[in-house]
Amino acid sequence: MKKTFLLITCVLSIQSVSFAQKGDYKTMLNKVESHGKVTGDSTTIKVDSLTNPNNFHYTYTDKNIDFTIYRGVTEFYFDLKNNSGQTLKILWDDAAYINTDGTTNKVIHTGVKFIDRNNSQPATSIINGAKISDIVAPTNNVYYSSGSYGGWEQLPLLPKPKRHTDPQYNNTQIKILLPISIDGASIEYIFTMNVKWAEEIKKKKS
User: Would you kindly state where each structural domain of the chain is located, as residue ranges?
Assistant: 20-203
Query: Is residue 3 over pLDDT 60?
Result: no
The residue type at 133: S
Q: What is the pLDDT of residues 25-71, one digit of tens each?
A: 999 999 999 988 999 999 999 999 999 998 999 999 999 999 999 99
Q: Which residue has the higher pLDDT, 23 or 202?
A: 23
Query: Which residues lie below 8 Å from residue 188, measured CB to CB, with a gap of 6+?
Result: 33, 34, 35, 94, 177, 178, 179
pLDDT at 164: 80
At 50 the pLDDT is: 93
Q: Read off φ and ψ for residue 116, nearest 5 degrees.
A: -100, 15
| Spatial separation of the C-alpha atoms in residues 87 and 89, rounded to whole Å | 7
Average pLDDT of the segment spanning 104-130: 97
| 155-201 confidence digits (pLDDT tens) | 999 999 988 888 999 999 999 999 999 999 999 999 999 999 998 76
Name residue 32's beta-bridge partners: 40, 191
Q: What is the pLDDT of residue 147?
A: 83
Q: CB burial class (10 A; 0-12, 13-18, 19+) of residue 189? A: buried
pLDDT score of 5 more than 70: no
149 pLDDT band (50/70/90 cuts)? confident
Spatial distance between the Cα atoms of 47 and 31, rounded to a whole number of angstroms: 13
Mean residue pLDDT across the chain: 89
Q: How many helices (H) and strands (E) does the chain have?
A: 1, 16
Residue 14 or 56, more confident:
56
Give pTM, 2 decimals. Answer: 0.85
Give the gyration radius of the chain's Cα atoms: 22
